[in-house]
Amino acid sequence: MGRRLTADNKGEKTMTIKESLSELRGRIDDLQKRLGDKESEFSKDERVPAEHRAKVDAMQAQAEAVKEKLPTEENSVWDAVKHEVQRDMDALAQDFEHTVSYIDAHFREQK
């Protein structure tokens, strides 16, 4: 509920106005797990340049910063920060997808 999938966002869950605090927290947790998985994968692959690995590392810190903006419960604080946090999360998720696609296309799929 509160999430929609479209063909043009490659399955990435997109925010809706009705997205709850717990749903957003779940999306951030999912993204942090994906970031951690890619971080680990890229650290073992010498074809991925250090600056690109560092970018994924920085995204981990950004995700944590977004998570820290979340209040503990849905109240007036949540109402005040909801849209800012949603925008930050959407931007971070898109940046992650773009970065992974770029790394795969330019470094990892080379023979």
CA 97 to chain centre: 8
Please determine, for residue 98, whether its predicted confidence score (pLDDT) is greater than 60: yes
Closest residue by Cα to residue 34 from 15, 16, 13, 48:
13
pLDDT in tens, 34-72: 999 999 999 999 999 999 999 999 999 999 999 999 998
Q: Given this model, what pLDDT does residue 35 score?
A: 96
Residue 6 confidence class, pLDDT cut points 50, 70, 90: very low
pLDDT of residue 110: 63
Instruction: Compare 111 and 52 and report the one with higher pLDDT.
Output: 52
Extents of the domains making up the chain: 7-108
What is the rounded distance in angstroms from the CA atom of residue 111 to the CA atom of residue 107? 9
pLDDT of residue 17 exceeding 70: no
Residues whose CB falls within 8 Å of the CB of residue 20, separated by 6 or more in sequence, listed in order: 2, 74
